[in-house]
Amino acid sequence: MVEHIIEGSLRNKAMVLLTLLLGVMLSVWAMKHTALDALPDLTPPQVIVSVEFPGQSPKVIEDQVVYELTSALLSVPKSSTVRAFTSFGNALVYVIFDDATDLYWARDRVSEVIASVAKTVPQEASIRLGPDATGIGWVFEYALTSNTKSLQELRTLQDYVYRYALLGVEGVSEVASVGGFVKTYEITLRQDDLVRYDLGISQVKNAIAQNNRDVGGGVLLENGFEHMVQAKGYAKSAADLLAIPLGSPKGVPLTLGDIADVTLVPSYRSGLAELNGEGEVVGGIVVVRYKENAYKVIQAVKERLESLHVNDVEVITTYDRSDLILNAITNLQNVLLEESVVVFAVVMLFLLHVRSALVVLIILPLTIALTFLLMKLFGIESNIMSLGGIAIAIGAMVDACVVMIENVHKKLGGKKGISETERVATIITSSKQVGRPIFFALLIIVVSFLPIFSLGGQEGALFKPLAYTKTFAMLIGAILAITFVPVLMVFFIKGTLHREEKNPLNRFFIAAYGVLLKFSMRFWYLSIAVFVGLLIFGYHTYTKQRWEFMPPLHEQALMYMPVTSSGISIETAKAYAKQSNAIIKSFPEVESTFAKVGRAATATDPAPLSMIETIIQFKPQSQWREGVTYASLQEEMNAKLQLPGLVNSWTFPIRGRIDMLITGMRTPLGIKLYGDNDEALEKSAQAIATALGTHQDTRSVFADKSNSGYYLDISLNPEPLAQYGMDKEAVLEVIAAAVGGAKISTFFEGIERYPITLRLELEHRSDLEALKALAIKTPYGFQPLETFATLAHTLSPGMMKTEMGKKVTYVYITLNEGTSSKTYKEEASALLANVPLPTGFYTEWAGESEYLEGAMERLKFIIPLALLLTFVLIFLGLRSLGQAVLVFLTLPFAVVGGFIYMDYLNFNLSIATIAGFLALIGIAVETAIVMIIYLNEAVATLKVRTKETLRQAVFEGAVLRVRPKLMTVLSTLLGLLPIMWAQGAGSEVMQRIAAPMIGGLVSSAILTLFIIPVVYYKLQKEDQ
C-alpha cells in the first residue's frame, strides 16, 4: 500500500503540490488565529456558586443557606466534588465535574438547583452563579493610585469607570475589585431620641423603605401625545434622607433628622490591596472567559486601559500574563529554529549536497505549519506544552525524509551520465525500498505516545496538548514522507552525487565503526556481558530515583502566601502586608510587589481575611545581581520574611490559583482532615502539623484554626420574652439592623449604587456592656437587651469548610526544593500513624502526591497495552517474528540510558519524564528498524550463504550503511539539545521530557550499532 502511494504521488505531482499549497494557506490562517496562553487549563470543569448574606456569621449562613444548597448540589449529574467555604457575610460553593463535562451544560444544571433552593432560604440571602471562568482565568491585575484622590474615590472609579469599560472587552468574564472603601449612607440613630419619642427600629426601617422609591403611573394621553407618568420619590441627597417623615408619635411631627444623622462611612471590608510597601491602593483583577484567547484578551484590556484618561489617576500593572506567554512562545520558537538548523546541518555534513538538504528544510516548516492547522481544527491552543510537543518531535518527524534522501544518494552516488528516466526510476525504487518500514517506524513513534492520552485530571490536561501536537507532527511527517518527499526528490536531487566514501566525515565513521564492530562480533560474549552489565547499572540508577508529580514551572513571577492567625482584624492584616511588601521590594531584582489581603469581589476568590497573596514581579534577569537565581532569591526572601505571626508559603500565580480551585488548598501538598466536631478538628489538625514539622523535608506546615473565630453570642431567653408579650423577631431585628448595620435601601447617584444602612451610635454597640444596655422596645416601654438574652464571648469557626457534605479542615504543607512528594507522603504517613484521631475522623492527602498516584494507576494498565501494539507494528513493518522480538528487546537498553542521564542531571522521575520515556520508545524502535532494514538488504544479496559470507554481509550491512543510521540518530539527538540549554519560561518541563530521550538515544544507538548486528548474525547463523 505504501509503495502504491509513493508511485501515485509521483504520477500526480500537480495534485500533490496543489493540495499542499491549500494546506499551507490554511495553516497560515490557523497560526494567526490559534489561541495563545502560557499553560493549558489544568482545572476540571467547575461551577462556582456565590452566596451573599450580609452581616451574618458563618454558622448562620451554613445552617440557613449552604446546607440546603450543597445537599441539593450533591445530586447534580456528573458532579465529582461539592466543596463549600463559608465566612462572615458570604459563602462560596464549588461544584467540580468529571473531566469530559461541558462547562455550560454544567452551569445549566447548577442554575436549576439554585432556582429551586432560592425559594427556601431567607430573602436577605442572595445566591448567584459565578463567572464562566476557570482557575487560570486571572490573567491581568492592576492598581489605581493617585496623589489627590482618596481610596473611596478610587474605588468608585474602579467600580463604575474602569470595571465597566473592561467588561466590554471581548473575552472578559469578570473584572473584580479589591481594596479601597465602598461608600455607604449610614443612618446613625440616637438611642435616647428613640426612647424619648417611643420609636422602634422597625418603625424607622419601614419609614425609610417607604420613602425612597420611584414608581411609574402608566401613560396619560393628552393633546394627541402619550405622556409617561413617573412619580419620583428617591432621595437625592443626605438632606432628603433626613427629611423622611416618621409620623407624629405623642402628637409631635417627626422627621428622620430629629432622631438620626446621615454620614458617609465605608462598608464592611473583606479585603484590601497594598502596593510596594507604600500603602493601600485599589486593585482590579481581569478574569478571562473559559476557552478564550488569553493573550488576545490581555492585549485588548491594555489597549482599553490606555484609552481611559482620568485626571491624576495612574494605572500600574501588577500582573500581566502576556509577558509569560510571549516569553514562553518566543523561547520555544527559538528552540524550534535552533533544532531546524541542527537537522539541516546534519544532512549537509553527511551528504554534502545543498539541494538534498533543502528537501529537509522544506519539509520541516511545512510539517510544523500543518501541525498548527490540526491544532486549530482540534481546538488546541498554542502554549508551552503544545509547542513542546512539536519541539521534541523535530528530529524524529523528518527521519523518514532523511532515510529516503540518503537511500537515493546511495543508489545514485557516483553515477554519471544517467538518463532522466533512469534517475526518476531510481528515486522511485529507493523510496519504495525504505518507505514501508520507515512509515511503520513513524507510526510506532505515534503509538508509543498513546498512554499520555489515557491520563486524566490535571496531568491529562497538562500533557495531552503535547501528546496531540507530537502525534500530529509525526503523522504529518509520515504522510509527507510517502507523498511529498518523493516529489521533492525528483525536483531537487539532480546532478552529480558523491559516493559515500568521498565524504571525509563518512570515511571516518565507517573506519572507526568497522574496527569496533569487528571487535564486538569477534568477542560477542563480551559485548553481551557489557550489555547486561549496563542493564544492571541502569536498574540500580532507577532505584535511586525519587518521584515527583511535576517539576517546578517558573512563571517569571512569584506568589508569596503567608498565613496568619484566624480572626485577625483587617488593620492587623494590612500591617502585615505593608511590612512584608516593604521587605520584598527592598530586593533589587523586584519590579513590584502587590499584596491582596482577604477576598476580591469575585466568586473565584475564596481567601479569608487571614490570607495574604502577594504577586511579585521581577525585573529582567540581565539586571539581577550576579549569581542570583529564582531559587536563591526565594531563599533570601524567605529568610528575611520571618515575621512573628506569619507562616510563610511560596508558590506561583497560576500554580497557586489552580491548587486552590482544584483541591481547595493554597499549597501544592496538604492533608484534609474530616470530622464532625469543630474543636476536635482544630486540635487534631494541629497535632498533625506538629508531627509533620519534625520531618526534615518540611519547609513549612500550618493547620487551619478551624475553631478560632471570635464571637459575641446573644442567646435569647423565651421566658422574659413571653412575660413582655414579645416574639424573638422583634429582638433579632434590632440586632440585625441597629447593631449589624443591615442594608435597608439603596441610594442612587446616576449609574452608581450605594447601600443605605441603619445603625445605632457607636457608643451603644461598641462592646459587651454597651450591647447589654441596648434598648429594646416592648409593649411596656423600653428594656435593656440583657433582660431578654444572655451575652458572652465564645470561640467558634471563623470559616466553615465542608466537602461532600462533611466538615473538613486543612493542613497546608510546603516542601523543601527538590523534595519528592511521593517519598514525603510515604515517610510522613509513618509519622502520622502515631497521631491518634477521634472516632469517626479520617485524613486524606491532597495535591501532588494524589495527582501522581492517579496518573500511575492509569499508566500501569495503558503502557503494557501500548507496548503490545508497538510490537504488533514492528512485526507488520519487518514481517519477521524473530526480528520483531530483537527490535523490541532494544527498549530496556534505551530506557537505561535515560535513567543514567537523568541521574547525572539530578532530575526526579515525574509525569514529564514518563512522557519523555514514552517518546523515546518509538524513536529507539525506529533506529533499530533502520539497522534491520539494511542488514536484511545486505543478507538478501548473498548468492552463497556460508558462515564467512554471512558474517561479511552483516558487517557490510552495518558498517557500509552507517550513514543513514547516524543521520537519523544525530538529527533527533542533536535536535533535542537546544531544549537542554534553553533558559526561558517552560524550559524546566521540556528539559525533563527531553532528558530521557537524549540519554536513551545514546544508549539505544550503541545497542543498535553493536549489539543488534551481533545478535542478528547469531540468529541468521542458527537459521542457516
What DSSP line would sit under 630-688, residue for residue?
HHHHHHHHHHHT--TT-B--EE-HHHHHHHHHHHS-SSSEEEEEE-S-HHHHHHHHHHH
Q: What's residue 1's pLDDT?
A: 66
Angle at 288 between CA 283 and CA 289, to 5 degrees: 140
In 3D, which of 148, 147, 179, 184 has the Cα closest to residue 162?
179
In 3D, which of 644, 348, 358 has the Cα closest to residue 503?
348
Percent of the chain whose pLDDT exceeds 70: 97
Distance CA 201, CA 632 (A): 61
pLDDT digits (tens, 9 = 90+) for 382-403: 888 888 888 888 777 777 777 7
Q: What's residue 927's pLDDT?
A: 79
Average pLDDT value for residue range 178-197: 90
DSSP state of 244: -
Q: What's residue 105's pLDDT?
A: 94
360 neighbors 347 (Cβ within 8 angstroms)? yes
Distance CA 536, CA 326 (A): 44
Residue 1021 has pLDDT above 90, yes or no: no
Distance CA 489, CA 501 (A): 22
Distance CA 958, CA 933 (A): 10
* Backbone φ, ψ for residue 358 (5° rounding): -65, -30
Q: What's residue 510's pLDDT?
A: 83
pLDDT digits (tens, 9 = 90+) for 747-791: 888 888 889 988 888 888 888 888 888 888 888 888 998 899 998
Q: How many CB atoms lie within 10 A of CB 291?
A: 14
Q: What's residue 1022's pLDDT?
A: 57
Residue 1005 has pLDDT above 80, yes or no: yes
Distance CA 774, CA 727 (A): 17
Q: What's residue 95's pLDDT?
A: 92
In 3D, which of 435, 437, 550 has the Cα closest to residue 489?
435
Residue 127 has pLDDT above 80, yes or no: yes
pLDDT digits (tens, 9 = 90+) for 911-929: 888 888 888 887 888 778 8
Percent of the chain whose pLDDT exceeds 90: 17
Query: What is the distance of C-alpha 868 from the center of its chain?
Result: 33
The more confident residue out of 1024 and 768 is 768
1003 neighbors 893 (Cβ within 8 angstroms)? yes
Average pLDDT value for residue range 726-738: 86
pLDDT digits (tens, 9 = 90+) for 443-487: 777 777 778 887 777 778 888 888 888 888 888 888 888 888 888
Residue 628 has pLDDT above 60, yes or no: yes
Residue 515 has pLDDT above 80, yes or no: yes
In 3D, which of 332, 139, 254 has the Cα closest to residue 978?
332
Q: What's residue 1024's pLDDT?
A: 52
In 3D, which of 424, 429, 469, 480 has the Cα closest to residue 446?
469
Q: What's residue 956's pLDDT?
A: 80
> DSSP 3-state assignment of 288?
strand
In 3D, which of 870, 889, 878, 890 has the Cα closest to residue 1005?
890
Cell 528498524 maps to which residue?
Answer: 929
Report the half-sphere exposure of 92 (CA within 13 A, side-chain side). Answer: 22
Average pLDDT value for residue range 661-673: 80
Query: What is the distance of C-alpha 247 from the center of its chain?
Result: 61
Which phi-psi region, left, alpha or beta, contains residue 285 (left: φ > 0; alpha: ψ -120 to 50)? beta
Angle at 643 between CA 642 and CA 649, to 5 degrees: 60
Q: What's residue 885's pLDDT?
A: 84
Q: What's residue 549's pLDDT?
A: 74
Q: How many CB atoms lie within 10 A of CB 339?
A: 25
pLDDT digits (tens, 9 = 90+) for 874-913: 787 777 888 888 888 888 888 888 888 988 888 888 888 8
Average pLDDT value for residue range 400-412: 78
Q: What's residue 977's pLDDT?
A: 83
List 50's β-bridge partners, or say none. Answer: 92, 128
The more confident residue out of 327 and 854 is 327
pLDDT band at 736 (very low <50, low <70, confident <90, very high): confident
Residue 984 has pLDDT above 70, yes or no: no
Q: What's residue 319's pLDDT?
A: 93
Average pLDDT value for residue range 856-881: 79
| C-beta contacts of 691-698 below 8 A and 24+ residues apart | 691/831, 691/832, 691/834, 691/835, 692/811, 692/813, 692/828, 692/831, 692/832, 694/831, 695/824, 695/827, 695/828, 695/831, 697/815, 697/816, 697/819, 697/824, 697/827, 698/813, 698/814, 698/815, 698/816
- Beta strand residue intervals within 54-137, DSSP E: 79-87, 90-97, 126-129
Of the spans 532-536, 850-854, 943-947, which averages the highest pLDDT?
Answer: 532-536
DSSP state of 63: I
Which of 38-42, 81-85, 496-500, 574-578 is predicted with the least confidence, judged by mean pLDDT? 496-500
* Backbone φ, ψ for residue 95 (5° rounding): -110, 110
For residues 457-473, b (16+ Cβ closer than 10 Å) or e, as one string? Answer: bbbbbbbbbbbbbbbbb
Cell 544525530 maps to which residue?
Answer: 970
Residue 541 has pLDDT above 90, yes or no: no
Q: Is 190 exposed, middle or buried (0-12, 13-18, 19+ CB in 10 A)?
A: middle
Distance CA 931, CA 1009 (A): 8
581 neighbors 276 (Cβ within 8 angstroms)? yes
pLDDT band at 1023 (very low <50, low <70, confident <90, very high): low
Average per-residue pLDDT for the chain: 84
Q: How many CB atoms lie within 10 A of CB 379?
A: 10
pLDDT band at 417 (very low <50, low <70, confident <90, very high): low
Residue 142 has pLDDT above 90, yes or no: yes
Q: What's residue 595's pLDDT?
A: 94
Q: How many CB atoms lie within 10 A of CB 755?
A: 18
- Beta strand residue intervals within 448-541, DSSP E: none
Distance CA 287, CA 974 (A): 41
Average pLDDT value for residue range 537-565: 80
Q: What's residue 577's pLDDT?
A: 92
List 171's β-bridge partners, or say none. Answer: none
Distance CA 117, CA 73 (A): 10
Q: How many helices (H) and strands (E) are present in the chain, helices listed first?
A: 36, 30
Q: Is 553 exposed, middle or buried (0-12, 13-18, 19+ CB in 10 A)?
A: buried
Distance CA 785, CA 770 (A): 10
In 3D, which of 816, 922, 813, 805 has the Cα closest to residue 866?
922
List 716's β-bridge partners, or say none. Answer: 789
Cell of 268: 464592611
Report the half-sphere exposure of 897 (CA within 13 A, side-chain side). Answer: 23
Average pLDDT value for residue range 803-821: 82
Give the C-alpha distances (Å, rounded to integers) separating 328 from 38, 553, 695.
7, 11, 36
Q: What's residue 442's pLDDT?
A: 66
Q: What's residue 110's pLDDT?
A: 94
